[in-house]
Amino acid sequence: MQPIEKLKFLTKLQVRSIAQQFGTPIFVYSREGIEKSCDAALAFPNGYGLTVR
């Protein structure tokens, strides 16, 4: 297994457990991070309307 990069929201134990369960490579996203990014996109200034997808 490759060295684990700096962890942002998971513990080392959680990372190893996820890797054992699903294999690697695997991408795990933070729901909080996604929601913050979506809120930021929805707050973009828009003079002619905006549909964030």
**pLDDT value of residue 4:** 61
What is the rounded CA–CA span in Å between residue 41 and residue 53? Answer: 9
Write down the pLDDT at residue 46: 87
Q: What is the pTM of this model?
A: 0.65
Q: What are the strands, taking DSSP E only, across the chain?
A: none
Q: Using one digit for the tens of pLDDT, what is the confidence trace for 1-53?
A: 666 678 889 999 999 999 999 999 999 999 999 999 999 998 999 888 888 77
CA distance 6 to 12: 10
